[in-house]
Amino acid sequence: MAGPVLSPGGGRREASAVKRAADVLAAGSVGGVLGAGAIAAGPLIAAGAVLGAALAAAIYRFPVVGLWLMIFSSTVLQVLGSEHLTGLPVSLGKVSGMVTLAAWGLRIALHRQPMTWSPQVAAFLVFFAAIWLAGFVSPDPGASREALVRYAQLFLLFFLIANIAGETEAMLDQAIIAFTAAMALSSLIGLAEYFLPSLSIESDDPALMQGSIGAVVDRDSLDGVEIKRITGGLSDSNWFSYALVSVLPFNLYLFHRFSGVSWRLLVVAVGALQSVCIMLSFTRSAVMALGLAVLVLVVRRRLPLVPLVLAGAVGLAGLVVWNPPGLQRLYSVEYVKAGSTPLRSVLLHGGVALIQERPVVGYGYNQYGANFVRWLHTEPVLDDVIQVWEREFLRRVAEGEEQVEWVMPHNTVIQVWVEFGLLGLLAFAGFVWAIMRDAGISRKVGTPHQALLADCLLAAVLAFLVCATFGHLLLLKVIWILGGIGAALCRVAVVGAGADRGSARG
């Protein structure tokens, strides 16, 4: 006798019922735990727990909430949401990361969704191992523990973006929009810093090292010239411009991804705003990186050459007519001789000398500054500018206005190699290579829009590498955001290509 026949619709209803039961069970468990905690902890902690649970529930139901929160808290809200300004025991970035991880982990456990895999994960784990090994040679165990915590947070940022944005193409688009929107808001803060005198900080203000909001006013680099450089809420003009250069290529993707006239006008306005703020940061390396990103997109035939040349000519003419004193920082030969270039040169030479002392194991996290000062004392001949800087720096350290750890080499390769040795350098290089590998795969197997996004990602990564030549950018979260986007893009492209092949065989 034949058994019962189940229709496809009945199977879907049963699966839906199981999913609803799982959600109810999860909600009941969380409610019970919160109720018991509220009784034991008191009203204040209970209120915070309830708010956290509400946020976790929203992220569980709508993962895009966690995606936006993580990206915003890692860029424009990095300083505004820090313990330094808010006085809270944890920063907004840590809260968003922990809550998003909890909600995402619950969804993975209950619904058994696949996770995103990329060689970036393996490279990051090797890099983390190098950080852990460097702790054994570091003279500061506290700094070593801080390094493990900091880079665990960066891995969490990269990993969650890769997984949440990698679920669907719509979620991937949300990650790109969130990244662009965050840096657009940062650019608006930068404009306010430039035009409002009250949002200005002297370049030697110790608050700059802690993280602050305001344009940095430099009166010492060029005689008789006041240079006002906006920071966009990231507390550092260089980091602000590097983040803008890394996000600008994605505006091209968004312009072609969505075809509405209002949307495209908005994207053009955002791109223009971000470009203006790069100029107002007065960072030479960012301008060079922007030029490389544009060149990559022209070579990949993503940008038309003639309109681009006309726009560049108009922009250059506008800069010549406008010509504020700060532009001398970009093109002045005098600034190259009298500005920060001599000090940066010595910082690089000191870094090379330290690498030669310990090429394999490194010195440990935050150990460049102390060892550079030690090396500086052994140099028989120093330029007058460097001697003045050394005396002033040691005075400020003695008075508690600065710390030796704040001295950095202004080059990411030197930073990685000195702190974490050869293994750390190779692992970080492997991580960057894996981003470009994911972009290459996505370009080959993805849709035309995904191939365009892959080229924009490539331009952003190469622009970041130019910036990394002139800055110590390991803790700038942009590269880890780019890594997460690259892994998510590769997953979406490969899954889509597999589905297309399956449909063709069917």
Q: Given its phi and psi angles, is residue 301 left (phi above 0), alpha (psi -120 to 50 degrees) or beta? A: left
Domain boundary among 72, 90, 113: 113
Is 401 within a domain? no
In terms of domains, do 138 and 61 share one?
A: no
The residue-averaged pLDDT of 468-494 equals 95
pLDDT of 483 reads 97
The better pLDDT of the pair 14, 424 is held by 424
Domain boundary among 86, 113, 140: 113
In terms of domains, do 62 and 141 share one?
A: no
SS3 201: strand
Query: Within 10 Å of residue 29's Cβ, how many Cβ atoms?
Result: 11
C-alpha distances in angstroms, 174 versus 59, 168, 318, 472?
14, 10, 34, 29
Q: Tell me the pLDDT band of 4, cut-offs 50, 70 and 90.
A: very low
Element of type H or E holding 190: helix 169-195
What angle, 0 to 180 degrees and rounded to 10, lies between the N-to-C axes of helices 478-505 and 237-257?
A: 20
In terms of domains, do 151 and 247 share one?
A: yes
Residue 10: both structure tokens together: 């009945």
Residue 108 has pLDDT above 50, yes or no: yes
Residue 301: both structure tokens together: 């035939």
- Euclidean distance between CA atoms 175 and 88, whole angstroms: 28
Instruction: Identify the weakest region by mean pLDDT among 22-36, 274-288, 471-485, 492-506.
Output: 22-36
% of the chain with per-residue pLDDT over 90: 53
Is 366 within a domain? no
Domain boundary among 113, 138, 163: 113
In terms of domains, do 73 and 108 share one?
A: yes
pLDDT of 168 reads 93
In terms of domains, do 82 and 180 share one?
A: no
The residue-averaged pLDDT of 2-22 equals 53
The better pLDDT of the pair 485, 330 is held by 485
Residue 86 has pLDDT above 80, yes or no: no
- Euclidean distance between CA atoms 6 and 81, whole angstroms: 54
In terms of domains, do 83 and 232 share one?
A: no
SS3 128: helix
Q: What is the pLDDT of residues 36-51, one digit of tens each?
A: 655 555 555 556 566 7
Residue 15 has pLDDT above 60, yes or no: no
Domain with 101, as residue range(s), is: 47-113
In terms of domains, do 228 and 316 share one?
A: yes
CA neighbor of 358 nearest in space, from 424, 429, 422, 404: 422
pLDDT of 5 reads 40
Query: Within 10 Å of residue 261's Cβ, how many Cβ atoms?
Result: 7
- Give the largest CA-CA distance in the chain: 100
pLDDT of 336 reads 63
% of the chain with per-residue pLDDT over 70: 82
Is 215 within a domain? yes
Q: Which residues contact 328 (CB under 8 A, 6 or more apart)?
A: 222, 225, 227, 334, 335
Query: Within 10 Å of residue 320's Cβ, how many Cβ atoms?
Result: 9
Residue 368: both structure tokens together: 């460049």
Is 143 within a domain? yes
Q: Tell me the pLDDT band of 342, cut-offs 50, 70 and 90.
A: confident
In terms of domains, do 465 and 316 share one?
A: yes
C-alpha distances in angstroms, 439 versus 84, 124, 446?
37, 17, 10
- CA angle centred on 182, ends 180 and 188, rounded to 5°: 100
In terms of domains, do 97 and 183 share one?
A: no
pLDDT of 456 reads 97
C-alpha distances in angstroms, 394 versus 112, 368, 369, 370, 415?
56, 15, 12, 11, 21
Query: Within 10 Å of residue 39's Cβ, how many Cβ atoms?
Result: 9
SS3 211: coil
List beta partners, residue 217.
202, 228
Average pLDDT, the chain: 85
Q: What is the pLDDT of residues 141-162, one digit of tens each?
A: 999 999 999 999 999 999 999 9
In terms of domains, do 140 and 72 share one?
A: no
The residue-averaged pLDDT of 8-15 equals 53
- Euclidean distance between CA atoms 108 and 195, whole angstroms: 47
Is 151 within a domain? yes
pLDDT of 397 reads 87
In terms of domains, do 321 and 425 share one?
A: yes
pLDDT of 35 reads 60
Q: Which residues contact 323 (CB under 8 A, 6 or more apart)?
A: none
pTM of this structure: 0.87
Going by their DSSP bridges, the two strands 215-218 and 200-202 should be labelled as parallel
Element of type H or E holding 229: strand 227-229
The residue-averaged pLDDT of 221-231 equals 78
Q: In residues, how long is the chain? A: 506
Residue 7 has pLDDT above 50, yes or no: no
Query: Within 10 Å of residue 317's Cβ, how many Cβ atoms?
Result: 10
- Euclidean distance between CA atoms 230 and 187, whole angstroms: 9
Going by their DSSP bridges, the two strands 227-229 and 215-218 should be labelled as antiparallel
pLDDT of 8 reads 46
pLDDT of 244 reads 97
In terms of domains, do 191 and 288 share one?
A: yes
Is 292 within a domain? yes
Q: Which residues contact 262 (CB under 8 A, 6 or more apart)?
A: none
Q: What is the pLDDT of residues 167-196, one digit of tens each?
A: 999 999 999 999 999 999 999 999 999 998
- What one-letter code names the amino acid at 348? L
Residue 347 has pLDDT above 50, yes or no: yes
CA neighbor of 29 nearest in space, from 58, 61, 57, 65: 57
Is 12 within a domain? no
In which residue are the tokens 């090396």 written? 375
pLDDT of 148 reads 95
The better pLDDT of the pair 3, 370 is held by 370
Q: Where are the alpha helices (DSSP H) in 202-260?
A: 207-210, 237-257
Q: What is the dihedral of CA 42, 43, 45, 50, to 10 degrees?
A: 130
Is 472 within a domain? yes
In total, how many domains does the chain have? 2
The residue-averaged pLDDT of 91-115 equals 86
The residue-averaged pLDDT of 74-93 equals 81
